[in-house]
Structure 1
Amino acid sequence: MRKLYSLLLMLFFVIAAHAQIQEPVKFKTELKTLSETEAEIVFNATVDKGWHVYSTDLGSDGPVSATFNVDKKEGVELIGKLTPRGNVVSKYDPMFEMTLRFFEDKASFVQKIKFTAPTYKIEGYLEYGACNDENCLPPTQVPFDYSGKTSLKAAVADAKTNDVESQDTDGTEATTGQGVTEVATTPASEQPVVSADILWEPVIEDLQSFGEEHAQQKDKSWLYIFITGFLGGLIALFTPCVWPIIPMTVSFFLKRTKDKKKGIRDAWTYGASIVVIYVILGLAITAIFGASALNALSTNAVFNILFCLMLIVFAASFFGAFELTLPSKWSNAVDSKAEATSGLLSIFLMAFTLSLVSFSCTGPIIGFLLVQVSTSGSVVAPAIGMLGFAIALALPFTLFAMFPSWLKSMPKSGGWMNVIKVTLGFLELAFALKFLSVADLAYGWRILDRETFLALWIVIFALLGFYLLGKIKFPHDDDDNKVGVGRFFMALASLSFALYMVPGLWGAPLKAVSAFSPPMNTQDFNLYTNEVHPKFKDYDLGMEYARQHHKPVLVDFTGFGCVNCRKMELAVWTDSKVSNIINDDYVLISLYVDDKTPLSAPVKVVENGKERTLRTIGDKWSYLQRVKFGANAQPFYVLLDNEGKPLNKSYAFNESVPDYIAFLKTGLENYKKEK
Structure 2
Amino acid sequence: MLTAMLAAFLGGIILNFMPCVFPVVSLKAFGLLRHDGDTASARSEGLAFLLGVVVTMMALAAVLLAARAGGNAVGWGFQLQSPLVISILALVILGAALNMLGVFEVGLSLQRAGELSIGRGAFGRSALTGALAIIVATPCSAPFMAGAIGYALVQPPAVALAIFFALALGFAAPFTLISLFPALARRLPRPGAWMSVLKKGLAFPMFGAYAWLVWVLAQQAGMTALATLLAGSVIVSFAGWIYGMAQQRQLAGRGYRVMYSVTAVLLLLVLVPLPGVMKPAANADIAQNAQQAAPIKWTPQTVAEQRGHGKAIFVNFTASWCITCQVNDKTSLSTQAVKEAMAKTGTLYMVADSTKFNADVDDALSQFGQGGLPLYVVYPADGSAPTVLPQVLTPTIVVNALNQAAGKKA
Point out the structure with max Rg over C-alpha: 1
TM-score range relative to shorter protein = 0.3 to 0.5
What TM-score, normalized to structure 2? 0.46
Q: Which structure dedicates a bigger proportion of its chain to strand?
A: 1
Higher-RCO chain (CA-CA 8 Å, sequence separation at least 6):
2
